[in-house]
Amino acid sequence: MVEPGSDFSSTRPVEYLTTKEGYDRWAAIYDEEQNPVILLEEQHLAPLLGDVRDLTVADLGCGTGRHAVRLAAAGARVTALDFSDGMVARARGKAGWERVKFIAHDLSEPLPLPDRSFDRVLSCLVLDHISDIAAFFSESRRVCRVDGFVLVSVFHPALTVHGIHARFVDPATGVEVRPASRGNQISDYVMGAARSGLTLEHMSEHAVDDELASRAPRAAKYLGWPLLLLMKLRP
């Protein structure tokens, strides 16, 4: 187990990029990595989201389409938004992507979506790249139907205390690439949701355990530490 104050950082050279540039680069290997944060998300998010058959779903920050394609296959009518050309190129190559309505959009701007038009508003591993949390949640609330909910996952703020943010190692250069991230804390997410008028129904923190560490060697150094935060919010 890593003790508080330990240095999680690697000794690799680091390249800092904008969020868009970083994810454009990351796209080439994103789906092939055994990313422990994504593995935790896959385990804990689906039960909160539930059955989406015949529902409208907005996937805000769809990336490589890992949720959008699966939800469309499950019978949802999915609208997916992202601004990373590299990520969306990977999504377009996946079977079933043709069933997803895609809109190129920067999530720091107001959403190009009608009011109260979605049963589920989903945003996964995006909020740590957003500076105005309240504005993002306000837009999520605006497009969510009154009987629907907003579900978000985010890289756990506990690790930002140790200087750890979203990052990957470029296999071609061995350089650690860091897309621009924000040092948001749990209070920023909770207060941002409250200021937007959303009601917090569920919040949970998910840590690396022995089972995950055995499946994903990268996770071993984070054993016992929370990597994922989930929030379910009602309009």
Q: Give DSSP secondary structure letters for the chain.
A: -PPTT-----SS-EEEE-HHHHHHHHTTTTTTS--HHHHHHHHHHHHHH---TT-EEEEET-TTTTTHHHHHHTT-EEEEEE--HHHHHHHHTSTTGGGSEEEE--TTS--SS-TT-EEEEEEES-GGG-S-HHHHHHHHHHHEEEEEEEEEEEE-GGGGGGT--S-EE-TTT--EEEE------HHHHHHHHHHHT-EEEEEEEEEB-HHHHHH-GGGGGGBTSEEEEEEEEE-
pLDDT at 59: 98
Below-50 pLDDT ranges, the chain: 1-8
pLDDT at 221: 84
pLDDT at 218: 84
Domains and CATH numbers, the chain: 14-234 (3.40.50.150)
pLDDT at 34: 87
pLDDT at 10: 59
| Full-model pTM | 0.93
pLDDT at 222: 87
pLDDT at 219: 85
pLDDT at 171: 92
